[in-house]
Amino acid sequence: MADLNFVKEIADIDSDFTQWYTDVILKTRLVDYGPVKGTMVIRPYGYSIWEIIQAELNARFKATGHFNAYFPLLIPQSFLMREAEHVEGFAPECAMVTHVGKEPLAEPLVIRPTSETIICEMYSKWIQSWRDLPVKYNQWANVLRWEKTTRPFLRTSEFLWQEGHTVHATAEEAQAETIQMLGVYEEFCKTVLAMPVITGRKSEKEKFAGAAATYSIEAMMLDGKSLQAGTSHFLGENFAKAFDIKFLDKDNKLKYGNQSSWGVSTRLIGALIMVHGDGRGLKLPPRVAPYQVVIVPIATHKAGVTEAAREISAGLQKVGVRVYLDERDMSPGWKFNEWEMKGVPCRIEVGPRDLETGTVSVMRRDTLEKSPLAVKDVKKGIPSLLNKIQRSMYAKASAFMKSNIVKARTLKALGNAVNSKKFALSMWCGDPKCEAHIKETFQATSRNMPFDQTPIADRCVVCGKSAKFKIYFAKAY
């Protein structure tokens, strides 16, 4: 087993979770700070995770009839002014281009904080008839929002994401798209990231600027805080009216399109770290790990060790396992510790004693359990083990989340829950003043209203009036 002295430079996960997170992302070389405040450099190990996320989501988007496209980074300022809620919501975060060289521009350009406005401008040109619908495009891009408080992956001024933008003939179709894509995110988080999420509708105060309704997936971090891991918005006709997106319908009447937009970002990498990590560093679910298996040869000066390790590596690659054969000139113990910190799901040790018995030693990162495996069974046994690790990690995260949700029927119970690093599930009258009171009193925000609205009480947890909604409250990133 690895030596915990190796991770002394990582803060204790229980006593200083914030510093633990920072230490882990830097020491595992996922990311580094950019030279401009609030920006990050995603290093190869971190970007490999993002590439896997992209590939997995791309497959799902295309399976649901979406096409990838790309739209410009620079948006005329006047575009943002067309939708009142949208400009009010994003204006404080917008970065502007006002000059080219020394020459001022006739109109300032906004570096995209999101792309609804420029995409809607193009849709208004492309959509003429009901035959042009639905339009279902997705964009992989970077966006810029000038954040005051930043932390790599969780909240940075520039980040990577995907944003889907669709137009439909009816509100019902657009709403169905909104919910469908929320479900795509939920399934992806569960099956790829091994991360349970709570799905539901955001309150009016927390919805996307310009949307008719916003839905979210909320994940619980190990410190009991919520992380909004993705959103899906029903835009209705709001942007269509602002950008004149009209089509001639089958009844020969000119109508406005109904829209949705939805997105997830590199914030998901931060979620991975804070849902699955431990005192040794990262713990990556196999389906999203850049390397699912690392092979460490031991006593390579002994005959046959290196050759056996290479043969095992080649065999696993042939069955689709992502493998790294670590032949660097470093001690096995150093390698064990490094790969444990980097969260590689499975380690195979190949040494002369193992080969004498026709076995290798296999260690699971999630449980730190080590067991022998016959060399002849590696190609079948390792994929099976990786599937077992994936399921086990989801089960553990799911059990943690369920055990840290409290049904809070009084304001005191709600406060005790969020101050004890838990989610509070409560009843709410729908008045924004009650929502604001919880934020002011406990520094907790509403997360979402679950689709299952079976009441747990009759009265609002704050004012005592008749309750309308069941809703989650938590402290959040």
| pLDDT of the residue at 92 | 83
CA 149 to chain centre: 19
| pLDDT of the residue at 28 | 97
Side-chain-side CA neighbours of residue 90 (13 Å): 29
Residue ranges, the chain, pLDDT below 70: 1-8
The whole-model pTM stands at 0.95
Per-residue model confidence as pLDDT tens digits over 238-261: 999 999 999 999 999 999 999 999
Give CA–CA dist 464/460, Å, rounded.
Answer: 5
| pLDDT of the residue at 7 | 61
Work out the mean pLDDT of the chain and round it to a whole number. 96
| pLDDT of the residue at 1 | 44
Domains present along the chain, CATH in parentheses: 13-276 (3.30.930.10), 291-389 (3.40.50.800), 405-474 (3.30.110.30)
| pLDDT of the residue at 91 | 80
| pLDDT of the residue at 2 | 46
- What's the first-to-final CA gap in the chain, in angstroms? 34
